[in-house]
Amino acid sequence: MEEKNSLTTQKETEVEQVRKLTASERFTNMVMNEFQGNIGELNLNDYQRQLIRNYFIEIDKSLKTAETNRSYSKKKANDPSVTWDNVNMNKLAVDVVQNAKLGLDMSIANHLHVVPFKNGKTNKYDLTLMPGYEGLKYIAANFALYKVVDIKVELVHENDIFQPTYKNNIEGYEFKITNPFSRGNVIGGFGYIRYENEVHNKLVVMSIEELLKRKPSTASAEFWGGSKDKWEDGKKVGTEEVEGWTNEMLYKTMVRATCKKVTVDPKKINNSYIYVMETNENYYVENQEDKVQEEIEENANKLLIDIEAENIQDTEYASTENNEVSETQNTNITEGPDF
């Protein structure tokens, strides 16, 4: 009888401990269990666990915002609600773990974004985590063969002064904004990778024509400008012209081109790096970069995009070395699903 009471007390204690966990902590535990159940053994350090808790807070906000806007959208009225119950948790768990292992932090501006897609095959939402331009710089610097001091990217306008230089075997440039309030049209862009050993410094220069070559054939008017479909009562009634955010798109294109010029140290490459970079490349190039950017930039992911998602293939991911980094505990507790 005493043994039975002891077991009951132990179970009640365990249940009480689970209740005391915050929603973000339950999310972290769920991610680890989901990952281990489908991929294999997983080891995360304290900093990586904190990053995952931050992911939950930001993803939860994005889902709530997306659901609010879906409910007001006549085009999306018949779509499933954008809630945790309708999220592909298997794919999200893999994305979360691999990005956390790289040290990407969703709470830092333009470091990491959540991109929700409605999967036409499952009628659920696939949440892909995509590095922003600051995240791409962060990855490039951390995996560089030579120590990177800074990665600078600028668009050059017709009234600016830009001149590449080459002195003492070091690539450089001269850049001056002569009139910040009337710079004229964009005529190109440049990226400058500055290394600790300046001999390795790299200048990447692209004309406006070269930048626009990377514009997808199905470019979204919301960001590249031009004509877009006009909807009323869930039906297409014509088109309308929008100005778009062309310069912002050109800037992101220049960042991506510059980061690709950083020489990667093959000894640093791990499975998390391969997974994140391949996912990033696939979504930006094969699945229409402009639509991904629309998800990221359009008022904190307010719009959702329908795609026929490819099947997710199982891949083995080995644990990477733990990066011991101290981090202040995030005390922002967000109410969320009961994982």
pLDDT tens, 94-147? 899 999 999 999 999 999 998 888 888 888 999 989 898 999 999 999 999 999
pLDDT at 181 over 70: yes
pLDDT at 242 over 90: no
Of residues 292 and 66, the one with the higher pLDDT is 66
Would you state the structure tokens that stand for residue 133, as one six-digit string? 């331009």
Tokens 């054939």 belong to which residue? Answer: 217
Residue 152's pLDDT band, with cuts at 50, 70 and 90, is very high
The pLDDT score that the predictor gives to residue 335 is 43
Residue 248's pLDDT band, with cuts at 50, 70 and 90, is confident
Lowest mean pLDDT among 73-87, 268-282, 322-336: 322-336
Q: How far, in Å, are 27, 46, 70, 219, 292 from residue 306 at the CA level?
A: 26, 36, 13, 16, 11
**Partners of residue 119 on adjacent β-strands:** 124, 307
Which amino acid would we find at residue 337?
A: P
Domain boundaries, the chain: 19-137+269-324+333-339, 144-216+244-263
| HSE-up (13 A, CA, CB side) for residue 231 | 8
The pLDDT score that the predictor gives to residue 305 is 39
Lowest mean pLDDT among 86-90, 259-263, 301-305, 321-325: 321-325
Using a cut of 0.85, tell me whether the model's pTM lies above it. Answer: no
pLDDT at 179 over 80: yes
Cβ neighbourhood burial of 74 (10 Å; 0-12, 13-18, 19+): exposed
- Provide Rg for the chain, Cα atoms: 23
Of residues 19 and 170, the one with the higher pLDDT is 170
According to the per-residue pLDDT averaged within each range, which of 78-82, 160-164, 236-240 is highest?
160-164
The pLDDT score that the predictor gives to residue 317 is 31
